[in-house]
């Protein structure tokens, strides 16, 4: 059983890693105003997911409560590939929030590494909005009342 769990974790980590590379490219291609919007939306999505009963299932249908992961990352990824800039920004923010919570307490090494990469991406987004005090102030506290 441990072998199956390990294989599933590796497969999930590989899929999310491929998606992460495309998400990073999408973030790099955003204009400055869209990056500010992304920073605001990312902090909101992280807070909304943190308040959810199962944060790693945020963005998934309610009947999926007993799964290891939900559909939120796939929905966010599809939106992140959109031609519409606002849909793309919302998709990126959703993807980041879901994957952050999905990998937050991961046991597998590949998922822990992925979580660190997501944290780096969040820091990059946060720093890109650093010039705007009102956006930066939102990053100080996440949905659980902890420093972000």
Name the one residue in this structure whose structure tokens are 């869209």. Answer: 34
pTM of the predicted structure, to 2 decimals: 0.83
Q: Provide the pLDDT confidence category of residue 135 given band limits of 50, 70 and 90.
A: low
pLDDT recorded at residue 8? 81
Q: Please return the burial class of 137, using the count of CB atoms within 10 Å of its CB with bins 0-12, 13-18 and 19+.
A: exposed
Is residue 105 assigned to a domain? yes
Is residue 8 assigned to a domain? yes
pLDDT recorded at residue 94? 93
Is residue 84 assigned to a domain? yes
Structure confidence by residue, pLDDT tens digits, 55-80: 666 766 566 655 666 788 889 999 99
Is residue 44 assigned to a domain? yes
Residue 93 per-residue DSSP state: H
pLDDT recorded at residue 114? 93
pLDDT recorded at residue 72? 82
Is residue 74 assigned to a domain? yes
Is residue 144 assigned to a domain? no
Is residue 68 assigned to a domain? yes
pLDDT recorded at residue 139? 55
Domain tally for the chain? 1
Is residue 147 assigned to a domain? no
Domain enclosing residue 131, as ranges? 2-138
């Amino acid at each position: 059983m441990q072998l199956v769990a390990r294989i599933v974790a590796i497969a999930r980590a590989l899929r999310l890693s491929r998606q992460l590379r495309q998400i990073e490219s999408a973030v790099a291609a955003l204009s400055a105003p869209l990056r500010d919007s992304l920073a605001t939306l990312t902090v909101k999505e992280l807070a909304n997911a943190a308040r959810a009963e199962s944060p790693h299932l945020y963005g998934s249908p309610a009947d999926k409560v007993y799964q290891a992961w939900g559909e939120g990352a796939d929905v966010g990824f599809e939106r992140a590939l959109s031609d519409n800039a606002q849909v793309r920004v919302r998709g990126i923010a959703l993807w980041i929030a879901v994957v952050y919570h999905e990998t937050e307490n991961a046991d597998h090494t590949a998922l822990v590494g992925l979580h660190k990469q997501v944290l780096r991406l969040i820091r990059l987004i946060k720093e890109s909005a650093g010039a705007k005090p009102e956006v930066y102030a939102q990053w100080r506290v996440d949905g659980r009342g902890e420093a972000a």
